[in-house]
Amino acid sequence: MNVRNLVFLCVQNSARSQMAEGLARASAPRGLQVWSAGSHPYEVRPQVGTVLSELGIDSSGQHSKGIEEVPIDETSLVITLCAEQICPAVPGARVLHWPIDDPATGGSDKPEEQLQRFRKVRDHIRARIDELLRDLD
């Protein structure tokens, strides 16, 4: 699979797609451009920075973006991460769908339990990205 540009899409671009962007950028081969965006962007959840920094990934430069803010027309591959919502559609693009539950919803509001949900989703996304990048080689 020849992929030079990769976009992770979600509705709010606040948790899953932000983690995916940070994880993919940290391990992407040279020349692979990575973005994330959402159909209804919101603010990046603070837990994203926390769980990425636990892996040594600095996501401080990332921000929530709308689809129109990324080069979607030049994208080789779009990965949608919505599980409980309807993911944004991207006509004409090659799309993979990875339905992953939103760590910001469901469960307890206790900070440590929230972080545990974010870590679980981070690790799941990381494994999927590692597999994807192996397939790109």
Looking at the 3D structure of the chain, how many domains does it have?
1
CA atoms within 13 A on the CB side of 127: 7
83-121 pLDDT per residue, tens? 877 887 787 788 999 999 999 988 888 999 999 999 999
Cβ pair 31, 4 in contact under 8 A: yes
pTM of this prediction? Answer: 0.94
Q: Which domain holds residue 131?
A: 5-136
CATH number where 42 lies: 3.40.50.2300
Cβ pair 85, 11 in contact under 8 A: yes
Q: How many Cβ atoms sit within 10 Å of the Cβ of residue 127?
A: 11
User: Which positions are annotated as active-site residues?
Assistant: 10, 82, 87
46-72 pLDDT per residue, tens? 999 999 999 999 999 999 999 999 998
Strand, helix or coil for residue 33: strand
